[in-house]
Amino acid sequence: MLVYVRFLRAPHAARLLGGTLLGRLPNGMALLAIVLHVRADGGDYPLAGTLAAVSGLAMAAGQPVLGRAMDAYGQARVLPPAAVVSAAGYAVLAGVGVRPLPVAAAAVVVAGFATPPLEAGLRALWPDVLAGRAALQTAYALDAAAQQVLFTAGPLLVVAAAALSTGVALLLTGALGIAGTLVVACARPSRRWRAAPRAADWAGPLRSPGLRVLLLALVGAGVALGVYTVAVVAYAERAGRDAASGLLLAAMAGGALLGGLVYGARGGDARRDPAARLPWLLAALAAGYVPLVWAPSFPLMLPCALVSGVFLAPALACCFSLVDRLAPAGTVTEAFAWIVAAVGAGNSLGSFVSGYGERLAGVPGAFAGAAGGGALALATVLAGRRALRPAPAAVRAAADRFRPESPVR
């Protein structure tokens, strides 16, 4: 674990990672906070679920737009205003409830769309802060692993705040977003960061064939995650264990955290080409979901859930390192924002797939969708593996982004 000690001692590294995690807590809080507030205001479950889904889709749509703005104008000009607007959306929903419904829907859309792209911004900052590709791989792995904490701590914070009022939970969601955003945006690397000059075209990073392949693969990975979230609820109902769904989600998150920490401690195996490494990681990820289809008794299901998450963070970290190489000059933040959007879109699709899988084949059918999503991600990467290997000039351009002799101080 000395590698993590060295990483956190790097100038600005602990502040940027900690501030980003704080500012991204709303990502793990918003959906639950919206559902609880709608229900407390007399709305039914279909309405609560619809508004939560609208929030998630709005966030997925807003990330690339705000990412492009950050590439054009810098982080400090985009992140704080976005956080304030997003918090205002949560505040309006807390104040009006579900009536009038058009106002509530607009508030949800604004809150989701304006969610500051801290995740994409942090990944764009790392090459300016860290010295060497091994350190970058460690940062990506720790970033991917730490995401699991958000989706464990976030709901707990919502439940605690909702004991006072569901409106308080919404206000806390917005306030944490502002606080974390300010920690990052006021740091010197964020204030000084500027994207490289970019070509004047509407497609931005999407003009890269390799990045399009990567996005499609991550939609498949997102499908697996969305399926898993719904399938564990169906499993808990069948097993008659109310707490089983939460424990299985926590076990999967724990596996991802463990896998990410081990992967990062090895520097993400920086000596190997990430394009060659990614298919193996996705194959292991897909295979980890297969035992869940058996849906065994809970004492066996718990370790299966743990194993299913082990290769999630390493696969994501490997994708992040590929974005560095595949994104055209001047589009790196938008490219990372598209990564967030792809996983989010797949997650929503996975929730839909899992529901129908459960209806057709019970709990095993629901979990089969997770294995299918992992297999889809693997098949996409294998089909497009040539596009994931950029031309030598592009690799040199990505390497030029590292300045080990003069990182930002």
pLDDT tens across 363-381, in order? 888 888 889 999 999 999 9
- CA atoms within 13 A of residue 370's CA, in its CB half-sphere: 29
Q: Mean pLDDT lowest for which of 102-111, 266-275, 330-339, 375-384?
A: 266-275
- More confident: 355 or 279: 279
Quote the CA–CA distance of 239 and 4 in Å, as a whole number: 40
State in Å, rounded, how far the first CA of the chain is from the last one. Answer: 24
pLDDT in tens, 23-58: 999 988 887 788 888 888 888 767 877 788 788 888
Between 360 and 169, the more confident residue is: 169
Three-state SS at 117: coil
Q: Which amino acid is at 13?
A: A
At residue 176, the pLDDT reads 96
DSSP states along 190-252: HHH--PPP--S-SSGGGG-HHHHHHHHHHHHHHHHHHHHHHHHHHHHHHHT-TTHHHHHHHHH
List the structure tokens of 78: 């985009």
Confidence of residue 171 (pLDDT cuts 50, 70, 90): very high
Domains, the chain, in order of start with CATH, read 1-195 (1.20.1250.20), 206-400 (1.20.1250.20)
Residue 331 has pLDDT above 60, yes or no: yes
Task: Give the residue among 135, 146, 181, 148 at the shortest CA–CA distance from 9.
Answer: 135
Contact 90, 112 (CB under 8 A): no
